[in-house]
Structure formats: C-alpha cells, structure tokens
Homo-oligomer: A and B are copies of this chain.
Amino acid sequence: MSLKKSRKENYPEWYQCVVSEADMAENSSSPGCMVIKPWGYGIWERIRDVFDEKIKSTDHENCYFPMFIPLSFFQKEAEHVDGFAKEMAVVTHSRLSMKDGKLVPDSKLEEPLIVRPTSEAIIADSFSKWVKSYRDLPVLINQWANVVRWEMRPRLFLRTREFLWQEGHTAHSTPEEAETETKTMLEAYCELCEETLAMPVILGKKPEHEKFPGAVDTYCVEAMMQDGKALQAGTSHFLGQNFAKSANISFVNKNNQQEYAYTTSWGVSTRLIGGVIMTHADDEGMVVPPRIAPYQVVIIPVIKKPEDENTVMNYINNLAAEIRKLIPFGEKIRIKIDKRDRKSVDKYWEWTRKGAPIICEIGPRDAAENKVMLKERLKINTSNAKEIIGKEEFIATLSQRIENIQKEMFDRAKKRLDANIRTDIKTVEDFNRYFEQSNEWIEDGKQGKVAFVRGKWSGDPNSEELLKAMKITIRCIPFDQSNTQGTCLLTGKPATMDVIYARSY
C-alpha cells in the first residue's frame, strides 16, 4: 500500500502523492491557490497555537491590519529598493456590472490597491501615528493573515499565490534593542522548528544579496529536505531606520530630540508544512510529529460480527476516556475514534498515509483479553511494528511513548542533517563536480548524495554569478563560525567566513 511514487523514483511526484494521499491540501479552481483540507489545516492550527503562545509570552500582541495597501505606498520602495518584487495582485475595480449578458469589472478605483504581499508598508503607516515619544516604544505586534505573491510555478504548501502566515512587526528606541528582538524571534523560530516540528535547522545571517529588500540584516533558519535541498523555514529582519524614515515613524527620545525608530519584522508561513512533509514523510505517506498531529492517537474498531459491536465499542469508549486524561507535552491529548462506515483495513491505510503517530486497531479479542493492538507510524516498516500490550500498561506509558516519538523524529532528522553537510570540498572544481550530480533522495544512514556544503566564502558579490548559473545559493552565514583562515570555495581567494551552500526550494 505504498505511495505510487517513492522518494527514489521521483522525488517531486512523491511529494505531490504525500500531500494528496494524506488529504492535506489540493489545487483549487482559483489559479495558483490551494485548498487547505482539514488534516493540513489541523496541522497549521497546532503550529499557530504553539507559536502564538510564544508570541504572547514574549510580550507581543496580536492585531489585524487591512489586506489592501494603496499603490502609492509602494512607490518609494519601488524607486529605491533593489530587488523589490513586483508580482502582486492588483485591485482596480470595486463593482461588477452586467454588459451584454456578461459580468464585467466596473467602478474603476481612483488609486489601485495591492493585496498585501507583506505588511511592512501599511503597518509602518500605523506605527507613525502611534509613536510620538520614547514612552510609546517598544511597539510589539503580530498578525496572523493571508498574503499574496503572484508565483508562476505554484506547489502546494511550498509556493502558492495565497498563503497563510504570521508577521511580527516591532519598533524600538535603540538599534541594540531592535537587534535583540530580531535575534530573540529567530531563536523562537528555531525552537518552533526543532521542538514542535521536529525539524532541525541551521541559524544564520543571509548574505547581502539574499536579504529582504530594505533590511539591514536578514536572519534565517534553514532546514534540509530529504532530497538534500534547503528550505528557508523562517526569517527575521532588522530593518534599521529604513522603514521608519520612509513612513516617518519618529519619536522624541529621552534627551528630548526627534529620532527615527528602529524596526524589525519576522515571519513563518504555511510553507513550514511543506518542510515538515519533506523532513518526515516516507514512501508510505505522511508522518506527522505528535506535537502538531491533529490526532495523536487514532482508534479503529474492528468489528466483523454485529453482535460484537457493543462489547468492542464499550471497551474502546472506556479506553478513550482513560486516554483523554493524559497530557503529553503538557497539553490535552488529541484522540479520534474512527467510527465511519468503511472497512477497517481501509481506515488503517488511510491513517497511515495521513501519518497519525499511533494507530490502534481494537477487536473483540482485544476487548476480551483487556489488550490494545497498536502500531507506531514511525516504525511501520520495521519488524516490530505491531505491538499487543495490556490496556493498563498502554495507558500508563502512552504519554511517554508520544513524547518519545517526537524525540525520535527529531533525532532522525538531526542525524540526517549532520551527516549531509559536506565540509571536505576545498576547490571550485570539486564544488562544481559535487553539485553537478543530480539531486536524489538521501537515504537515512547513507551518505554521498547532493546536499549542503559548508565552506569558505570571500564575500565577493561577483562570485554570485557562478552560483546563479548552477542554481545554488548561499543559504546563510551560520552563527557558529569556525573563525579559521582558508580559501573561498568559489574564487580561491583568502577567506575566513564559513557559509552554507545548497540548492533550495
């Protein structure tokens, strides 16, 4: 019952299979946009709730800003900012009219409106009204919203025209405070990825040419997918006074002088779900980390004779009542009894493809013997996948089991990441040869496929040309620098800076 395509056969098709067989999302009749289905949206809700708690515990407050931004707000940026992206949805009319039996746009707007690709411009406008004195600072806000970027090659979760995200926006009275904020939120993203998504990341700073347009510094967390490509999982920007100057966010400081504020912004999106899929899914389908699984335990009644129904359902209901008292990770457990009118074997494969962490099949014999038959999704292809254990033992150890699965998933992915950062490539020839190989699936425990290269970089912007031609990017300048002398992998010039080179999503 494996997926139609394995990772090895065709990685991009395998990805589509996982998403569709797990029923997480699908393409929509609205071009380039996706429908996020309950299993996919449930995962997003868990990510949102966990991170929302973090946002609030770090003193940020949620707001909501308009999604329509007047065109003029982008004028300055377009004139001055290199790399300003212009692929945006433009609203030009505010009415439909019937003409010759056909519905057509009518009532042209005086000024076109842009559907937010990100909200720096409109939020900075509000900040300029809110901030007058140093006493009004810091302003620490966040919003959960939909945003639009006119992607030409959409892929579910990874790149769609509309997606969901959170965007934090803050204003501070000193650059130090703003930089601390930028890094605090980067750390929060690291924690979210590693502890909640079980997806290990590398923390670092983007090189000049990869920065967010208008930022002084862009920091990021980068994850490694199973095909060795990098996925930028989250970014945190120190914007200096750039946005404050263009929107006039100024304040009277403690010395009674007028000064521009220092701002930051930071975001993660539904793209994280794409990252989770390509970190954890296997050839049987999705594998969801317990912390974000809409259901951590699924119980399938196996009833062949109608006269068994009462016994089995009573046993399951009692079992579920006990399970519902558990609180793995300090949160109420999420369980589902799948009572649908379908064959139990079909249900079993459905939950396997969806990647529910623990799937129990309970029949009359289990009820009679006070036992539970279960499989951990993570172990599905191992010889000891099927376990039959006493009900009391199952309940007593379930929280720990769930927490262990989360840990195992992280450890497995961390091992993969660590094993696939090549540090032995020293010349541009070797570099080229390495990346000329085709990108395949990295089999766990094996090495040698194309993944990340950690090596020196001179910082010379001209060396980018070589990278561009090979479709390789510098993912980041990792925080853990070796500070050793060496030679730039691209130019052969002396260099001390370590960077991560990789193909990417």
Contact = CB atoms under 8 A, between A and B. Distances in A.
Nearest to A34: B66
A28 B122 contact: yes
Interface string A61-96: 111111111110111001100000011111111111
Interface in A14-35: 26, 28-31, 33-35
Given A41-B62, A87-B94, 13 more contacts: A29-B73, A31-B70, A35-B64, A35-B66, A45-B62, A67-B162, A71-B105, A78-B103, A86-B95, A86-B106, A87-B95, A89-B93, A107-B150
A277 B70 CA distance: 30
Contact of A71 (B62, B74, B96): B96
A233 interface: no
A66 B150 contact: no
A94 B103 contact: no
- Number of this chain's copies in the complex: 2
Contacts of A26: 126, 129
Interface stretch (A109-117, A184-192, A407-415): A109-117
A96 B75 CA distance: 10
A95 B63 contact: no
25 contacts: A28-B66, A29-B70, A29-B122, A30-B66, A30-B70, A34-B66, A35-B63, A35-B64, A35-B65, A35-B126, A36-B64, A42-B61, A68-B89, A68-B161, A75-B102, A78-B103, A79-B98, A79-B101, A86-B106, A88-B95, A90-B91, A91-B115, A105-B112, A107-B150, A135-B341
Interface in A333-373: 341-342
A38 B62 contact: yes
Q: Which of A103, A122, A129 has the most CB of B within 10 A?
A: A103
A125 interface: yes
Q: Which of A29, A65, A78 has the most CB of B within 10 A?
A: A29
Contacts of A74: 96, 103
A141 interface: yes
Contact of A86 (B31, B61, B97): B97
Given A28-B126, A90-B92, A93-B92, A41 B65 contact: no
Contacts of A209: none
A304 interface: no
Contact of A30 (B34, B69, B161): B69
Contacts of A471: none
A398 interface: no
Contacts of A61: 38, 41-42
A164 interface: yes
A126 B23 CA distance: 13
The range of chain A's interface size is: 35 or more
Contacts of A70: 29-31
A146 interface: yes
A142 to B, nearest CB: 10
A28 B65 contact: yes
Contact of A150 (B41, B86, B95, B129): B95
A33 B340 CA distance: 44
A37 interface: yes
Contacts of A145: 146
A287 to B, nearest CB: 21
Interface string A367-388: 0000000000000000000000
Nearest to A76: B103
A301 to B, nearest CB: 17
Contacts of A129: 26
Contact of A38 (B63, B90, B97): B63
